[in-house]
Structure 1
Amino acid sequence: MLQEKWGPGLCSLTWQDTPLINLWPDECPTCAGMVSAGFGADRKGAAQFLSAMAEWNQPFHDLPTSLSHLEPLLMLLPSGYYLLEDRELYPTDGNGHFFWDVSQQKSLNPATVSVMDREMQYSTPGPLYLLPTQSPAHYNAERAAYYRDKPDTRAIAWYFNDAYLCALLDGHHKASAAALEKRPLKSLVIAPVSRSTKESLTFYNGESLSATAFIKGIPKAIHYSRLNSEQYQACTSSVHNDTFSWPEEFAHCAAVFPDVATASTILEAGDISEKRIQRIIEGQTLLQDEDVPLILEALYYTHSTQFMPFARFVYQHDCGRTYCHLAFTLLAQQPCQQVDDFFVEFLIDDDAYRPDLTKIVDDYFRQR
């Protein structure tokens, strides 16, 4: 069975009672906890249960089709309700490292936290970063290279509530390819229920089921088992040589993805849908001045097609003049013809009125 098990100060995702990956949450929900690798003691090749899913690596069509392909895996979960989402995850551990470069020694990881909003309410960040469930000894450079030109393939991940972190169940080489290509990893994420009452079940993203939708015989809450003393000892002591020299090309790949602070900004930005951004640009939705940098960074780091139009809006309207430097800085990190054209327009129209912005543009073209 694939399930979370708990011990003192520990949440461990286990396969057949053997730890795959361990989270050590802090008692304070907004303070960083720790992470350590388990790798299933590597006795079963960690996550080898996926070998029976012959249909899984077919091209992705839609969630219903994927759900049928995932049935062998879902049958291994404790009976209960789960949310299945198609999401993009970053191939980093949320701690500035390539996702697979996680030690069996405990290390502090800021992606274990919850977030406090402006109303001083805690919120669940949602799936964003990845942790491995396989030993680095399974890394195959040829397999990673195979997926570099296949951005639409899907991985499978398990989400840990009240964190940014997911355990990668299948797709370690897909994630490696995504890191090398500096792109997010498309993943199907399985999330357990976050809160349950007699009247409803709620998942991390606020989606819920009312009592009228409950299915008889399926427990509303999953009662996770506790780690026995032997399992807990396996999580707290490293018995393997976990040193692995990753190729140099992986060393700095995490730097291109948003860190936890930026991810919090994306969450705080709220709705950044095309509809809302267009309404802001067209003057149909009022925008608070303090929301401008949040939206800029959220659109940039989510690779939204609305980033360029919103950056233009910030530059062209007085309400955003304070944040022009941020807009230009982000634009300069996204070289393309659209940015070229915009910066040329700026140089023609500005006449060196904004030397701080002119410097960003000059540096941009110098490096093109």
Structure 2
Amino acid sequence: MKLFNFSEPIEFEGLIPGTYNRWGNDALIFRINKGTGKLSTKYGTDKSGDTYGFLLLDNKPLINSYGEELYCPTCAKILSIGLGREQVDPSIVDTIKYSQELNNDLAYAFENVKPMLSILEDGYYLLTRIKMIPTDGDGNFFWNLSDSKKLYKATADVYYKFHISSGTPKFILPSQGVNCLNEERVNYYLDQIKNGKTMTGLAYYYEGFMSTLLDGHHRATAAYIENKSIDCLTIIKVTGFGFNQDKKLDKIYAGGEIYDLNLFSKPERIHGYLKKIFDSKRSKLTTNEVEQILKDCSNVWSHETIPTGYDFGKRNYPDYLSIAFSDMAGDVSDERVCEVMGRRDDDAEFELEMIYKILQLQAPDKAFELSKKIINDANWKVLIEEAFRYLASIDSTEVEDIFIKYLIDSEYDPKDICRKIADEYLNNR
């Protein structure tokens, strides 16, 4: 007797309201049964015992990752471009290219994208819309992934002062080499942006803060040039499930989020199918398969450089730490600041630091006022150096007065970092 009788290869399971997602939009959860598995993540070791991970499309690697860090959620990953989407069967690429369409109705988008979803491997997935930042998480142009190995800090969760921020899908990796960049296409989309059009794409969540862009490279390039985001219809795989203290299934994990199974009408069905999929160990590659992938890559790899027809220097985007700190900070209202400053415990110290970091990025005027409160409150000397460093980045007579007053009122101490910051600031005025 079969445990479950699934009649549809792609089946809607439920809707997760945007309030449960850090990216703020609704997510639709669905199940793939008897998918082709042409888009999947696989792991294995070569003959030397070195560990590799591959994001595969039609058995061709889009992205390669290296080392034991693959199994560490807070370890940054070393990545390189694989064979790229250009090496894949064109019919599969066409399925990807024509599957996404900007539409506010997620249910409509789900129906429209179904032809593409059939290439996924069996399991549960989320479908959602996320405004992606077209960088590598450190402010660099997203299409800078080459065949040379490179450490991507944004591929890991952030561990800071004994607190962990799970990765939020926010940045993108390319799925094809930069040699595919077509300047005419970029110029076409630049004109569209100037006419008010939003750039769109199709992405598949990778790890940490990173997703792989399956379609929309030229739109994302135009968005980067104009310092815009790209609205990505994003596929996120459910990667695990958890139990409560009574060993009863109560949660699933996807895209850095933890979802209570009470959100869904048939939690036992989700658990049973996930367990079946995870027990199958389909993600494991044999040594010979790993060796063949590496051989295929070595036969076509050629070092690529980014075309120089555009300025691809760093833009004014948040980096992965800013996103992580924003997630950790939560509410940054004036009321929250007052409440936190009124407490004196380790949690309050961490909370105020996170709030302060985010205000520096999102509300400089409020950050300036909070800097003065920190400096003038003896209970918050733990953050005074950070306040001085932030103020020193502002060209202002008020900052000058604050620093002069500090130098006059404080006793001389050669180890006082704040005094050194104030001296340097005043000497450069």
Match of 1:70 among 87, 90, 113: 113
- Cα distance in 1 for partners of 2:108, 2:169 equals 22
Shift of 1:358: 12
Once the two structures are superposed, the pairs formed by residues 1-368 of structure 1 within 5 Å of their partners are: 1-8=38-45, 9-27=51-69, 28-40=72-84, 42-44=86-88, 48-51=92-95, 54=98, 56-57=100-101, 59-94=102-137, 97-119=140-162, 123-148=165-190, 149=193, 150=196, 152-161=198-207, 163-197=208-242, 199=249, 200-203=251-254, 204-210=256-262, 213-214=266-267, 216=269, 219-221=273-275, 222-223=277-278, 224-228=282-286, 229-230=288-289, 232-235=291-294, 237-240=297-300, 241-247=302-308, 249-253=310-314, 256-267=316-327, 269-271=328-330, 273=331, 276-280=332-336, 283-284=338-339, 286=341, 288-301=348-361, 304=362, 307-308=363-364, 310-315=366-371, 317=373, 318-319=376-377, 322=384, 323-328=386-391, 347=397, 352-354=401-403
Shift of 1:35: 0.3
- Cα distance in 1 for partners of 2:210, 2:369 equals 34
SS at match of 1:239: helix
CA contact under 8 A between 1:40 and 1:46: conserved in structure 2?
no
Write the letter of the residue equivalent to 1:220.
L
Structure 2 residue ranges without an equivalent (≥5): 1-37, 46-50, 243-247, 343-347, 405-420
- Cα distance in 2 for partners of 1:265, 1:196 equals 26
CA deviation string 1:142-170 (max 9, x = no partner): 32233331563332211124x22211111
The TM-score normalised by the length of structure 1 is 0.74
CA contact under 8 A between 2:96 and 2:215: conserved in structure 1?
no
CA deviation string 1:16-62 (max 9, x = no partner): 111111222534543333101114473337895344664634x4424
CA contact under 8 A between 1:36 and 1:105: conserved in structure 2?
yes
CA contact under 8 A between 1:125 and 1:164: conserved in structure 2?
yes
Sequence identity (%): 24
CA contact under 8 A between 1:84 and 1:188: conserved in structure 2?
yes
Structure 1 residue ranges without an equivalent (≥5): 333-342
Q: Residues 137 and 324 of structure 1: is their aligned pair in 2 closer, same or farther, counting only changes over 3 Å?
A: same
CA contact under 8 A between 2:189 and 2:219: conserved in structure 1?
yes
Shift of 1:73: 2.0
CA contact under 8 A between 1:114 and 1:125: conserved in structure 2?
yes
Shift of 1:289: 4.6
Residue aligning to 1:338: none
Write the letter of the residue equivalent to 1:257.
Y
Report the number of matched residues.
Answer: 337
SS at match of 1:67: helix
SS at match of 2:144: coil
Shift of 1:193: 1.5
- Cα distance in 1 for partners of 2:74, 2:97 equals 38
SS at match of 2:258: coil
CA contact under 8 A between 1:25 and 1:32: conserved in structure 2?
no
Q: Residues 36 and 45 of structure 1: is their aligned pair in 2 closer, same or farther, counting only changes over 3 Å?
A: farther
Q: Residues 49 and 127 of structure 1: is their aligned pair in 2 closer, same or farther, counting only changes over 3 Å?
A: same
Write the letter of the residue equivalent to 2:335.
R
Shift of 1:230: 4.1
Write the letter of the residue equivalent to 2:310.
E
Residue aligning to 1:336: none
CA contact under 8 A between 1:60 and 1:154: conserved in structure 2?
no
- Cα distance in 2 for partners of 1:26, 1:289 equals 34
CA deviation string 1:199-247 (max 9, x = no partner): 2422221224358523758822544433352454324643222423422
CA contact under 8 A between 1:115 and 1:124: conserved in structure 2?
yes
Shift of 1:179: 1.4
CA contact under 8 A between 1:49 and 1:73: conserved in structure 2?
no
Q: From the two aligned structures, give the one with the greater strand fraction.
A: 2
Write the letter of the residue equivalent to 1:225.
S
Q: Residues 257 and 14 of structure 1: is their aligned pair in 2 closer, same or farther, counting only changes over 3 Å?
A: same
Shift of 1:139: 1.2
